[in-house]
Structure 1
């Protein structure tokens, strides 16, 4: 979002509206009532999945549609990062487009091409908790602050392919935070203090 102020603004407006509806209280509904913010999270996980590769072991002999036979015990490495960046599945894969994950577009995503938490019976057991934590953190952040790249921070991240987790190569992510002008939450906070 630091590189896309129009996306950040739209997400912040959705957060403001959510907080207005809920009396400036954060609750579990945040996971379901903020479709644009959730789409931002999904698009971020598409561009930078936590794990770039999933490893699975073949449990039964299997023949792929190409004719390649996989024997029991063989380890298969599923290239999540590359699937998420394949233009056949995600047009303009290097562009940050949260709209891909809005309800009206979700059906356009081919099954088993987007799986930052895995899929099927091995789906990450912590997925719901992780998404709830990320959403509540973003709400808390976006209600007060806006973010942009810090001076000297490159626009394009070079990811380190030598690591288990997806992370920037040679440096961290440097951001500049500023308080949002006209932050609506101040009004709620003053009203809460008077009550």
Structure 2
């Protein structure tokens, strides 16, 4: 997104969508519509709830006016945030299938069956029907989350329970580090955590776990903005590959994976190497 050519591409696409919606009076419940509505509002105000009332701060209307440029920037970020995380998720998703051939066979059977039902078209609805693919990818993201940890800033004081039974008061402004990788590997939530098992993400098993024991994209109002888009493109990529190829480990495939300490996201030291064998049964 750093080159003028790419920026102009996004600018043109977004402008066309905005123009179409305004011309045809189309309103959708999506991220772009929120940006359009914010532009119509004119500026960003700051109504803030405080302990016993409301505080309203006036902003300079010109300095804080939300414009088309802001829409281009926010929409572009929506796509950009999904690139690195999505490529990593897809790589580890394919890796897990390669080193677990039984799971790979089940995913392939499901993909073949759903695509046959949809006349070979990998549509949004088709991907939504691939429930075992979703389970397999979720387990890969549990074992290899895009981020090893997540850093937040405390905005309201709260008491954090301690192992001894007491509490620790976290003050406003305190940085809070959530160790995602450690949580995902906690046997209290995921028995035998080093074992790859998509069944952990069956509906029954998901309901039996604590809601915040699985956080590959964060959770709550500050979670990853584009996680649905990211998951959809990763599933589409894996389904396309698995439908055309068989995945096999080779002599350079790391088993087990060792995290690269020099990379700011979760990455395999030395890379992930797989063999792709074209299917002959299609």
Same fold by TM-score greater than 0.5: yes
Normalised by the size of structure 1, how large is the TM-score?
A: 0.90
2:180 aligned with 1:80 = yes
CA contact (8 A) 1:147 1:175 kept: yes
* Partner SS, residue 29 of structure 1: helix
Provide Cα deviations, 1:106-133, integer angstroms capped at 9, x if missing partner: 2122210101000011121101100110
Runs of 4 or more above 4 Å deviation: none
Tell me by how many angstroms 1:180 deviates. 1.9
Gaps of 5+ in 1: 184-195
Structure 1 equivalent of residue 170 of structure 2: 70
Aligned to 1:108: 208
Aligned residue in 2 for 1:21: 117
Alpha-carbon offset, residue 100 of structure 1:
0.7
Q: Distance in 2 between matches of 1:31 and 1:44?
A: 17
Q: TM-score, normalised by structure 2?
A: 0.63
Provide the residue aligned with 2:37 in structure 1: none
**Post-superposition offset of 1:105:** 2.0
Q: Is the 1:31–1:131 Cα contact (8 Å) retained in structure 2?
A: no
Higher alpha-carbon Rg: 2
Counterpart in the other structure of 1:186: none
Q: Which has the higher contact order (CA 8 A, sep 6+)?
A: 1
1:132 aligns with 2:232: yes
More helix by share: 2
CA distance in 1, matches of 2:252, 2:262: 24
